[in-house]
Structure 1
Amino acid sequence: MPTRIHRAILFALYQTSVATSILLLPLAVLTRQVGVTLPAHRIVQRLEQAYDATA
């Protein structure tokens, strides 16, 4: 059973990844025009799933 500290760390990591993804959005748009995709959504989804699993 996950502890409160584990859940709090996952929450902080999830929120940080969302904020980082938002900040990288202009870069992602530019790289998408070149044909390169930034896989930031994978990190956000994995952290979201991990956080939800602790509930």
Structure 2
Amino acid sequence: MRSTLNRATVFALYQLTLFAGILLLPLALVMRKAGITLPVHRAVDRVNETYEDMDIESAN
């Protein structure tokens, strides 16, 4: 039960991170033209790795 709740929480966090990345895309494009990068990809990658780790643990 606890692993299901943890997996659901991480999945929701992953979805929210992707949503935030999509919303911040116009800002990121403007910032890139100014020479500044917005590191949203790092947050998405970290949450994705955590979600995959949770999925692997539940399979074992």
What TM-score results when the alignment is normalised by the length of structure 2?
Answer: 0.87
Gaps of 5+ in 1: none
Gaps of 5+ in 2: 56-60
**The structure with more helix, counted as a fraction of residues:** 2
Q: Which residue of 2 aligns with 1:43?
A: 43
After TM superposition, the runs of 4+ consecutive aligned structure 1 residues lying more than 2 A away are: none
Would you say how many aligned residue pairs link Structure 1 and Structure 2? 54
Q: Which residue of 2 aligns with 1:26?
A: 26
Give me the CA root mean square deviation. Answer: 1.0
Of all paired residues, the percent bearing the same amino acid is 44
Deviation at 1:30, TM superposition (A): 0.2
Cα distance per residue 1:1-55 (max 9 Å; x no partner)? x711111000000000001100100000000000000000000000000000011
CA distance in 2, matches of 1:39, 1:9: 23
